[in-house]
Structure 1
C-alpha cells in the first residue's frame, strides 16, 4: 500500500497570521511529506507493505513505526484546523470535558501546560479512555495514544519545526494561538 498525504481542507495561507503560509508549506508540504516518503521506502518486502497507518502504529517498531506514526500524527494535527473554526466544543464532547476537567477553561489550561511543558519533541493529546472519560497525555517523539488503547481526539505538535518559523523559541506563544485555529466541529466528530 502506498501512503499519501491528503489534500489540506484549507489553502496554505488560510491560517495566517496565526500559522504562516511558510510554516504550512514547510511543515506539511516538506516535513510531513518526508515521513510519507520514508515510510513508503521502508515498507516494501516487510509485513507492513500493505498495512494501514493504524496497524503500523500498533505493531511496528523502529523506523517503520516512527515514520508511520508521524505520518498519522501530522494528518490528524493538520486536519483539525480551519480559517473559520467553530470556537468551542458543544454537545457530548463539551459535557465530557466538563465532567473530566471541571470546565473548558480548566481543560485548556491543563492541555496547554502539557504542550508547553513537554521536554524535547513530541505531542500533547486529548484522549478518550475506554470508559468514555477524557485525559490529557504527553507523548515523546512519534508517540501515539492508539498504542495504549486510547482514542485520540485532539493533538498539539510541539516539535520545534511546528512553530519555529513563526514563534522561534516561544512555544507558549504558539500554544496560545493553537486554540484560535482549532475547528471543534472536526474534534467533536472524533469524539
Structure 2
C-alpha cells in the first residue's frame, strides 16, 4: 500500500465505493421484485379419469373422452391463463380496475367449471346402486330415496335445452341436503358442499342423445359411484 501513489489510492477507493453502490442497488432492486402469489400461480393440472370410459353404460367412450378433453381440460387451461394474467396485473400498480374486474369474473367462471367437471367425472364409474349413510340421509331429508331421485331428475330437466348444473349439495350452514339448480359454473349455495354434480350443458349429452336429455339423465344415474358420493357426504358432515 505504501508503494501506491495518492492518485492510485484515490482511484482504488472510488472503484471500491462504486462497487458497493452497485451491489446495494442490485440488492435493493432484488428486494423490490414481486414475489410469486401461490393463489394465482396458474399451475392447475387436469385430473385423469378414474374409470375406463369404454365401460360405462349408456354413455359412449367418444362422448366422455370429448367432454373430458375439450370442455374440462379447456377450462383448466383457461384458468391457468387467467391466473397468470392476474399475477401480472398485480405487479402493475396502474393496471385498470375495470379490466381486473373482468378477469376476476373469468377466474370464478373457470374455477367453477374445473371443480364441477372434476366432481362430475369422479362420480361416475359405478353401478348406480346407492348405499351407506348418504342413502339413509336422503331418506331422512326427502322422505325416501325415490322421492329424492324424482326431485333431482326434475331439477335437472328444468335445465334441459339450456345450460347449467344440477347439484346435490350438503349445506353446511343449514345442515341439510338439497338439490340445487345452477344456471352456470358460478351458481352455488353459500356454504354448499357439492356431492353430485350433473352437467346439463348440451355438450355433455348431445353427441349420444341429441335433444333427449331425459335419456342422458337415466344413463348418468345408472353410472353413479355411490361409494364416492357417500365418502364426500361423510367428509362434509364430520
Regarding TM over 0.5, the answer is yes
| Structure 1 residue 14 displacement after superposition | 2.1
CA RMSD of aligned residues (A): 2.0
| Structure 1 residue 48 displacement after superposition | 11
Which sections of structure 2, spanning at least 5 residues, go unmatched? Answer: 1-40, 90-102, 234-238
Partner-residue secondary structure (3-state), 1:75: helix
Higher relative contact order, structure no. (Cα contacts within 8 Å, ≥ 6 residues apart): 1
Q: 1:62 to 1:179 in 2, by over 3 A?
A: same
8 Å contact from structure 2 (residues 128, 221) kept in 1? no
Higher helix share: 2
Partner of residue 7, structure 2:
none
Which sections of structure 1, spanning at least 5 residues, go unmatched? Answer: 50-59
Q: How far, CA to CA, are the matches of 1:63 and 1:47 in structure 2?
A: 14
Partner-residue secondary structure (3-state), 1:13: helix
- Superposed CA deviations along residues 141-183 of structure 1, whole A, max 9, x for unmatched, are 11353x6111111111000000000010011111112110000
Q: 1:48 to 1:186 in 2, by over 3 A?
A: farther
Q: How far, CA to CA, are the matches of 1:173 and 1:105 in structure 2?
A: 18
| Structure 1 residue 69 displacement after superposition | 0.8
Matched, 1:118 2:164: no
Q: How far, CA to CA, are the matches of 1:37 and 1:185 in structure 2?
A: 30
Partner of residue 199, structure 2:
157
| Structure 1 residue 128 displacement after superposition | 0.9
Matched, 1:181 2:223: yes
